[in-house]
């Protein structure tokens, strides 16, 4: 079951609200000694997360189907880049990482326990089954907190300072509907002020395809962190006039842009033009992976009131660990 994006949380009765976790969505199946971890696209994941599969294989319950998210805490926060590093062709590398940085399974739905199939049961019944199932789970398996009160869900967003990725809303009286966008997600809009350190032309060489964004680290080095290309055709013509006079030596003293991003729009050139670090853009982003914006960002506005030196990494929100959110939920 998938989620549809909404711009505000529903406030009528009959909803369950859960945190939106940043990991690999996973359906976990067990039938005796056989354990399968399936991604949202239907691909097997147990090879990449043997510690999760082994943990499920060691449970007393011999038969179940549960829905959740594989998450990986590193250094006090959930790391999507560490999850991506697991998708490695070498079994020896995966085995090493599974020992050094074990992943966890965050559960939020239960479709079958033993011979009892719950897929057609309402969410309330499935959640009760999940909570009962969770009584015998080890620490490496977590159960997502939830609330029936929209006020609590809003408080999560307010009290986490933008670190929480968002909130998922599900109807308590509905069955599990695989393949449908039958639940809803409200995502936090995160923004950052970034130095415009360069740009790329489109293939015509006359219009700007994207601008390249940078942030300063504590040592004063400017690192390339992503791009934005969310401009209309008319705006692209004006961009050329704005950016051309700023051409100069590369300001990226840390990591520099490489080839064209896989998220860039078709027709963008892989070559980039360096700019003096004087233009500041505010952009909206969804997630950060390895100190880079995971996807292309959305341009919000120019910030002539900001100095380049104010565009630092400390603007970015690190995602909360599950236990941190659990503490916030108990206070709400």
Active site residues: 20
Rg (CA), the chain: 22
- State the alpha helices, DSSP H only, in the chain: 50-57, 80-85, 91-100, 123-133, 150-159, 233-243, 322-331
Between CA 78 and CA 165 the distance in angstroms is 11
Between CA 265 and CA 203 the distance in angstroms is 11
Contact 229, 244 (CB under 8 A): no
Contact 280, 303 (CB under 8 A): yes
327 φ, ψ (degrees, to nearest 5): -65, -40
Contact 44, 37 (CB under 8 A): yes
Token pair for 280: 């500041």
198 contacts: CB under 8 Å, gap ≥ 6: 211, 212, 250, 252, 257, 272, 273, 274, 275
Between CA 155 and CA 143 the distance in angstroms is 20
């Amino acid at each position: 079951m998938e989620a549809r994006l909404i711009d505000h949380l529903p406030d009528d009765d009959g909803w369950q609200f859960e945190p939106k976790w940043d990991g690999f969505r996973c359906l976990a199946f067990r039938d005796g000694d056989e354990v399968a971890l399936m991604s949202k696209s239907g691909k097997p994941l147990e090879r990449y997360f043997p510690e999760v599969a082994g943990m499920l294989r060691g449970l007393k319950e011999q038969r179940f189907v549960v829905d959740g998210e594989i998450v990986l805490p590193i250094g006090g926060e959930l790391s999507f880049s560490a999850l991506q590093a697991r998708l490695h062709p070498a079994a020896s590398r995966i085995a090493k990482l599974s020992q050094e940085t074990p992943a966890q399974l965050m559960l939020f739905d239960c479709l079958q326990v033993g011979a009892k199939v719950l897929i057609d049961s309402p969410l309330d019944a499935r959640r009760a089954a999940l909570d009962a199932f969770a009584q015998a789970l080890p620490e490496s398996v977590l159960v997502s907190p939830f609330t029936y009160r929209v006020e609590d869900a809003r408080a999560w967003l307010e009290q986490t300072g933008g670190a929480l990725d968002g909130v998922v809303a599900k109807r308590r009286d509905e069955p599990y509907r695989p393949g449908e966008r039958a639940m809803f997600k409200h995502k936090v809009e995160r923004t950052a002020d970034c130095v415009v350190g360069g740009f790329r032309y489109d293939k015509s060489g006359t219009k700007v395809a994207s601008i390249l964004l940078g942030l300063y680290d504590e040592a004063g080095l400017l690192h390339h962190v992503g791009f934005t290309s969310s401009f209309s055709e008319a705006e692209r013509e004006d961009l050329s006039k704005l950016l051309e006079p700023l051409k100069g030596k590369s300001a990226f003293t840390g990591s520099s842009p490489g080839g064209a991003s896989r998220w860039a729009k078709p027709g963008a050139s892989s070559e980039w033009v360096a700019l003096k670090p004087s233009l500041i853009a505010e952009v909206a982003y969804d997630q950060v992976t390895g100190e880079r914006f995971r996807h292309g960002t959305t341009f919000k506005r120019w910030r002539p009131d900001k100095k380049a030196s104010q565009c630092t990494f400390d603007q970015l929100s690190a995602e909360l660990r599950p236990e941190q959110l659990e503490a916030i939920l108990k206070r709400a």
